[in-house]
Amino acid sequence: MKNESSFNLILIGFIVIVALAGGYLYVTSVSTPLTPLTTITTTATTDLFSNIGSIQLNTNILSNPRFRALTDITIPVGQEPMGRTDPFASFH
């Protein structure tokens, strides 16, 4: 019994040492400097805005008779009764 518990302690100690060594190697292995996220976002946003300026919209569809014949078919939503003021309150 004592032999088994000392084996478990040695095994747990070995696993902890391997985990710490792996973590240390992982943290120190970063050799290239990381690019800040704001630089990437700024570059992508600048590219997007430069592409948006070149878009040409055809407005002839607005004068098309088929477009003008379209009607609004929305259905008004009626007033529904409100729920409980405190949804977490107990029922009495």
pLDDT in tens, 32-45: 666 666 666 778 88
In a domain, residue 24? The reply is yes
pLDDT in tens, 32-83: 666 666 666 778 888 888 888 888 888 898 999 999 999 999 999 888 888 8
How many domains does the chain divide into?
Answer: 1
- Residue 81 within a domain: no
Residue 89 lies in a domain: no
* Structural domain includes residue 25: yes
87 band by pLDDT with thresholds 50, 70 and 90: confident
Q: Which domain holds residue 44?
A: 2-29+38-68
- Decide if 88 is inside a domain: no
- CA-angle at 16, arms to 13 and 21, nearest 5°: 125
Say which residues have a Cβ less than 8 Å from residue 61's Cβ, sequence separation at least 6.
67
3-state secondary structure at position 61? helix
